[in-house]
Amino acid sequence: MNDGKATRRRLLDAAIEEFATYGIAGARVDRISANAKANKAQLYAYFGDKDRLFDTVFQEQADELVNIVPFTADDLPGYALGLYDACLTRPHLVRLATWARLERIPAGVLVTSMPEQTEEKLGAIAAVQRSGGINPELEPGDVLAMVSMLALTWSPASLFFTATPGDPDADHERRRQALAETVRRAFG
């Protein structure tokens, strides 16, 4: 990796941690630059300003989640389990989404930059509904939203309990079984 790409990557990595910890308003460009071992001029040259840096970080993390958790409409429990596991290893994405919801977009669609992926998922859900695999009385968008939120039950956005990779394996297995069974019963 050339120096410019390496510096840009260090800035993004430092920004992920900064925004996930402090939010958009609380994040400091000075801290991001210092933690990335870069100067502020480089940050501004690559990203323009703090808001565009957040947009870049959030989009990158959302894309990563979309690509790391395969979606199969005829296996909604498997998709929910993939999201549960992703939240364990990438809790910063949930925190970034929470800050975006709190500080930027209080209502409506949060991630507007991936309409093709969302439309593919909704189309796949509708197809499985037509074949009888998912309750056809539910709107595909509602199914996707509810499955996703069930998967986030133990994420950093939870009001009750946040799971961590260090929790006992038996606890993770119990949660995973409960999640899969709940999704299976709710949407089948």
Low-confidence ranges of the chain (pLDDT < 70): 1, 111-113
Q: What domains, with CATH codes, occur in the chain?
A: 1-50 (1.10.10.60), 69-187 (1.10.357.10)
Q: Tell me, what's the pLDDT at 1?
A: 66
Q: Tell me, what's the pLDDT at 112?
A: 62
Which amino acid is residue 46, in one-letter code?
Answer: Y
Q: Tell me, what's the pLDDT at 68?
A: 84
Tens of pLDDT, residues 108-127? 777 666 788 889 999 999 99
Q: Tell me, what's the pLDDT at 48?
A: 95
Task: Report d(CA 43, CA 20) in Å as an integer.
Answer: 18
Q: Tell me, what's the pLDDT at 124?
A: 97
Is residue 163 within 8 A of residue 151, CB to CB? The reply is: no
Q: Tell me, what's the pLDDT at 113?
A: 62
